[in-house]
């Protein structure tokens, strides 16, 4: 038991450096294209040189170094060009806003149209009569069953069919009785 525990601990200790090395394998491969020449962020440089420490007082006057400021170039902007650029930016903003508003109006119109179609479908579904039979007055009265042109079989055809069926059943019954009757001696 102890040997297994020691072996497991030894394997865990040996696996730790390998996993740490695997995690940092690609750390040095990335090169930042926007970094300075030394690979990191560019270091700020001082524009003025620091003053030298004051020398020990002497009898002769010494020259004090003076710090000269480096002139920086400030771009000058023509006011007319700046105003035109401002007007163009404002026009672009107005056009973009107008396009957004037009798209919102189209979406709202489409929503209203879909709602109208749904409402019409609901109204049509409610107006559809139920499938149950309901008595309704007919346009002309039903003809009396006295004439021969009623269009149906009529009572005579039904009675004739019943008579034929009854005769067939009676014939079947007689045939069966004949089979069951004892044979006459010859």
pTM across the whole model? 0.28
Q: Is residue 103 part of a domain?
A: yes
Contact 50, 66 (CB under 8 A): no
Q: How many domains does the chain have?
A: 1
Q: Is residue 185 part of a domain?
A: no
Q: Is residue 92 part of a domain?
A: yes
Q: Is residue 29 part of a domain?
A: no
Q: Is residue 89 part of a domain?
A: yes
Identify the sign of the CA torsion 17, 23, 28, 34.
negative
Q: What is the pLDDT of residues 98-146, one digit of tens each?
A: 999 999 999 999 999 999 999 999 988 887 666 676 667 666 666 655 5
Q: Is residue 83 part of a domain?
A: yes
**What's the rounded mean pLDDT across residues 77-105?**
94
Which residue range(s) make up the domain with 93? 78-127
Which pLDDT belongs to residue 117?
A: 95
Contact 48, 72 (CB under 8 A): no
Tally of residues, the chain: 186
Q: What is the pLDDT of residues 12-51, one digit of tens each?
A: 666 555 555 566 666 667 777 777 666 555 555 655 555 5
């Amino acid at each position: 038991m102890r040997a297994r525990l020691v072996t497991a601990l030894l394997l865990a200790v040996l696996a730790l450096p390998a996993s740490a090395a695997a995690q940092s394998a690609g750390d040095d491969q990335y090169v930042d294209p926007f970094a300075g020449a030394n690979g990191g962020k560019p270091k700020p440089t001082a524009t003025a040189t620091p003053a030298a420490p004051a020398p020990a007082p002497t009898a002769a006057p010494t020259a004090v170094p003076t710090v000269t400021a480096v002139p920086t170039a400030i771009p000058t902007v023509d006011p007319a060009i700046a105003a035109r650029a401002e007007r163009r930016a404002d026009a672009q903003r107005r056009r973009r806003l107008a396009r957004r508003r037009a798209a919102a109006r189209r979406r709202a119109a489409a929503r209203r149209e879909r709602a109208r179609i749904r409402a019409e479908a609901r109204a049509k579904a409610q107006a559809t009569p139920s499938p149950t039979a309901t008595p309704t007055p007919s346009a002309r009265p039903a003809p009396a069953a006295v004439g021969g042109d009623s269009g149906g079989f009529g009572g005579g055809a039904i009675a004739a069919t019943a008579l034929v069926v009854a005769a067939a059943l009676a014939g079947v019954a007689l045939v069966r009785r004949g089979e069951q009757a004892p044979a006459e001696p010859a």
